[in-house]
Amino acid sequence: MENVVKTFGSLMVLDEIDLTIHENEFMTLLGPSGCGKTTLLRIIGGFESPDNGRVIFDGKDITQVPPNRRPINTVFQKYSLFSHMNVEENIAFGPKINGKSEDYIKDKIKYALKLVNLDGYEKHDVTKLSGGQQQRIAIARAIVNEPKVLLLDEPLSALDLKLRRAMRNELVRINRETGITFVFVTHDQEEALSMSDTVVVMNQGYIQQVGTPENVYNEPENAFVADFIGDSNIIDGVMVRDKLVRIFGREYPCVDTGFPEECPVDVQIRPEDITLDFPQENALNGVVTRVGFWGMSYDIIVDTGNFEWLVQSIHGRKVGDKVSLHLDPQNIQIMMKPQSEDEAVAKEI
């Protein structure tokens, strides 16, 4: 994608998008509703045309190539299965249109159903299948066309939580076994982090960060990414000098360097990286105001007078407990504040 711009009327949906997707990659476009991720997916698939910019595939400009002539298939959110056709007829639709032989189509149907763990379902009525089974048929129907790229537009959103988690593993397996490049759209951070080789974080038509799941989680480039990817405590701070930051008038050692002295910054501290202890002199002390139990851990809100901290721990606390917060220098992430109106988008949810 080279300098891709898309507007709808006066609304800027995509603003000069540059993005490279690699062969066999599982890439996820992640962001809140209205950030432009589905529009970007539709431009890749040929269902929308950019106002400016180009879509390059294997060195060829396919910006004006229609969807049916691109080596790309799409699995839509609602699957779009043909209700008057059984499973094998749905899967065979694409190869038949492309003039493939009957033997070829039978072999492909058998291969695709085995790949999605639905062997023997050839004659089933698609309307009688569960949501997860329908999704697998939609994937099988796309795979038999042997696309180079498979686009998936929030295909898990209609499934219950347990089935969604099972299908994540299935999609990763299918990606690895087929070698097809997957481009997956979601607003679910857990899906993006658990499935992807590369995560593209988007907001208001801009790409905020591109990186591995570990990179975007542990090294967010701005406050939007830090807050959108998982839970975070984000505080205004001042970088006193290299490896020393001031928060609420108190100085803390950190590991970041390269910031100007006395530079205003955003400071991110993940809730799981905070340790609670008994109140201590000259420590960051506070009072527990809320506790939530999540099965394997607790969400604990600690009010220190000038900020309400979110702490996640396997050890519970009681409302009213007085505690101190211990911050490890390795877990204090420093980010530059936005310097322009465009950059300020990064702080808006």
| The pLDDT of residue 132 | 84
Residue 342 has pLDDT above 80, yes or no: no
* Antiparallel, parallel or unpaired: β 198-203 and 181-186: unpaired
**Tens digits of residue pLDDT in 103-133:** 999 999 999 999 888 999 999 999 999 888 9
Give yes or no for a contact between 27 and 196, defined as CB atoms under 8 angstroms apart. yes
How far apart (Å, rounded) are the C-alpha atoms in residues 80 and 94? 13
Residue 279 has pLDDT above 90, yes or no: yes
Q: Where in the chain is the domain with CATH 2.40.50.100?
A: 223-347
Closest CA to 232 of 243, 219, 242, 251: 219
Q: 212-221: list long-range contacts, CB under 8 Å, 24+ apart.
A: 217/193, 218/333, 219/333, 220/268, 220/333, 220/335, 221/335
How far apart (Å, rounded) are the C-alpha atoms in residues 14 and 155? 22
Q: Where in the chain is the domain with CATH 3.40.50.300?
A: 2-218
Q: Is 160 exposed, middle or buried (0-12, 13-18, 19+ CB in 10 A)?
A: exposed
For the 223-347 domain, the top CATH level (class) is mainly beta
**Tens digits of residue pLDDT in 126-150:** 999 988 899 889 999 999 988 999 9
Q: Which fold has domain 2-218?
A: Rossmann fold (3.40.50)
| The pLDDT of residue 89 | 94
| The pLDDT of residue 343 | 47
Residue 3 has pLDDT above 90, yes or no: yes
Confidence grade of residue 250 (pLDDT, cut at 50, 70, 90): very high
**Tens digits of residue pLDDT in 280-292:** 998 999 999 999 9
